[in-house]
Amino acid sequence: MDNTNIILSVENLCVRFKAMKSHYFEKQRYVHAVDDVSFVLPKGKSVGLVGESGSGKTTIARAIVNLLEPYSGDIKFLNKSIYSLSDNSYLDYRKKVQFIFQDPYSSLNPRYTVSEILQEPMELLKVDVSESYQTSMLKLLAAVGLREEQQYLFPHQFSGGQRQRIAIARALASKPELLICDEPVSALDVAVQAQILNLLKTLQEDFSLSYLFISHDLGVIQYMCDYVIVLYLGQIVETGVSEDLFVSPFHPYTKALLDAVPSADPREHFYVPTVECIKQPSAVDPEPGCRYANICPKALRECYSLTPELKQIGETTSVACHLYEGE
Ligand code: ADP
Ligand code: MG
């Protein structure tokens, strides 16, 4: 892909954490929370990270905003490694990449009014605004669908959905180009979820934003994203264009994820995976082999010993699975 069109690239990212010891003399083991993950995010597009809890989604997001140090690998924003930026470029990067968290209750300072919450990042990051901070703040409020007089209120005076609107406005305060949304609607009621997702879509158009969208909810990813990355225990098992991946998934894990989505049709039964694991899969000092092998209904002998590489198998699809070798 043309490099000038790429806003973010994650290259062979590995993040490890010390695993809990069960007794003092035990050898230190490591959780390979993110293991050799690479992907690119084209400008103006939405890339979705999907996978069950513990698959490494938040860890990838935290690495991108430099909240943790990777074990190895690189993260490039507009083709420059974020680890080699000068002070000025780093400040610029801090403005251009913003994070929206799952929990709008804990991510807003309860002692600040909305007006203060929105103006603080402008001051801290020395954002260039043609008008006053006050005027930009009012524009942000309008952009996220809040009323002018609500600027004087405190976070606890709002509902969950409105709080998430404040969090979104705060993220927009530094005029970002990339928004990382980590489960932004998971804490909200379904009806409110749809409003927030629609707001994010409108803002993407209005402000030419690129999104890295994290969710364990496939419906949300399908609605929001152009490209999808499916993670399992810290590794990418499948990537593809949203339209194709949801229609014809390849990896057995992606298939299981899609089957697990409850259907509105009463004739379809809920899929309840009945799995008898010999060994519970884990990312703690993993051995070679596919991490999904112990659960996979189609595992071959090599799946237990050879780690499958991510291979392109269609125009837009890549899969890490021994079932699709040699295409
Ligand atoms: P997800 O967001 O997909 O639910 P996370 O990125 O939060 O997954 O976690 C991935 C793995 O890394 C999990 O096994 C989790 O327990 C572990 N992990 C995450 N953060 C830490 C940390 N600060 N210290 C130790 N282990 C961590
Ligand atoms: Mg998470």
Lowest mean pLDDT among 39-43, 180-184, 322-326: 322-326
pLDDT band at 4 (very low <50, low <70, confident <90, very high): confident
Tell me the two tokens of residue 225. Answer: 């994203």
Over range 75-97, report the average pLDDT.
95
Is residue 264 very low, low, confident or very high in pLDDT (cuts 50, 70, 90)? low
Check the CA dihedral 23-24-25-27 and report its sign: positive
> How much is the average pLDDT of 97-115?
90
- 30-42 β-sheet, strand order: 30-42, 6-18, 72-77, 80-81
Of 25, 123, 22, 10, which is closest to residue 57 (Cα–Cα)? 10
Percent of the chain residues past pLDDT 70, beyond the cut: 93
The string of pLDDT tens digits covering residues 270-322 is 444 445 545 677 889 888 999 999 989 999 999 999 999 999 998 889 999 99
Quick one: pLDDT at residue 327? 46
Q: How far is the CA of 267 from the centre of ligand 2 (A)?
A: 33
Mean pLDDT of the 13-35 span = 92
- pLDDT of res. 202: 97
Give residue 200's pLDDT.
97
Q: How far is the CA of 53 from the centre of ligand 1 (A)?
A: 9
Q: Does residue 149 have a pLDDT over 50? A: yes
Pair 61, 50: CB distance under 8 Å: no
Instruction: Tell me the CB-side half-sphere exposure of residue 171, using CA atoms within 13 A.
Output: 28
Q: Which amino acid is at 93?
A: Y
Pocket test for ligand 1, best of 59, 65, 231, 282 (most atoms within 8 A of CB): 59
In this structure, of 39-53, 144-158, 282-296, the range with the lowest mean pLDDT score is: 282-296
Whether 269 has a pLDDT exceeding 90, the answer reads no
Average pLDDT, the chain: 91
Quote the pTM value: 0.92
Residue whose Cα lies nearest atom 15 of ligand 1: it is 54
Residue 263 has pLDDT above 90, yes or no: no
The answer to which of 85-99, 255-269, 277-291 has the lowest mean pLDDT is: 255-269
Q: How confident is the model at residue 24 (pLDDT cuts 50, 70, 90)?
A: confident
Partners of residue 48 on adjacent β-strands: 213, 228
Residue 75 has pLDDT above 70, yes or no: yes
Position 270 scores a pLDDT of 45
Nearest-atom number in ligand 1 for the CA of 231 is: 3
| Mean pLDDT, residues 237-256 | 94
Residues with CB under 6 A from ligand 1: 17, 31, 33, 51, 53-59, 283
Q: Whose CA is nearest to atom 22 of ligand 1?
A: 17
pLDDT at 1 over 70: no
Instruction: Give the pLDDT mean for 121-148.
Output: 92
Whether 19 and 37 have beta carbons less than 8 Å apart is answered as no
